[in-house]
Amino acid sequence: MASQGRTLAQAKKNIAEAIQLFLESVRAAGDEKEFIPRPAPLEEWLKYFQALARQMNKDFRPAAKSQPLCLQFCI
């Protein structure tokens, strides 16, 4: 699922709305067992957590200056 917006906040709002509408349509069609939950492949989770770590490092770098952020997680 993808969305866009003029700002990051708008894009986040749009994707949340798209997800909500998707879930409503799945439930209305009675397709919950086929679509919910539908786990993402491990490779996609790894991409997500790597991107999250990079973003967190970027967000917190001004406060930490010389201390890189290390995000640890278990799979």
Q: How far is CA 67 from the centre of its chain?
A: 25
Residue-range definition of the domain harbouring residue 3: 1-38
Q: What is the pTM of this model?
A: 0.49
* Residue 34: per-residue pLDDT: 83
The per-residue pLDDT string of the chain (75 residues; one tens digit each, 9 = 90 and over) reads 888 889 989 999 999 999 999 999 999 999 888 877 778 899 999 999 999 998 888 877 666 566 655 655 555
- Same domain (yes/no): 31, 44: no
- Same domain (yes/no): 34, 46: no
* Residue 13: per-residue pLDDT: 94
* Residue 47: per-residue pLDDT: 94
- As a whole number of angstroms, the distance between CA 24 and CA 32 comes to 10
- Same domain (yes/no): 34, 48: no
- Same domain (yes/no): 46, 29: no
Query: For the chain, what is the radius of gyration of the CA atoms?
Result: 17
- Same domain (yes/no): 65, 50: yes
- Per the structure, the count of domains in the chain is 2
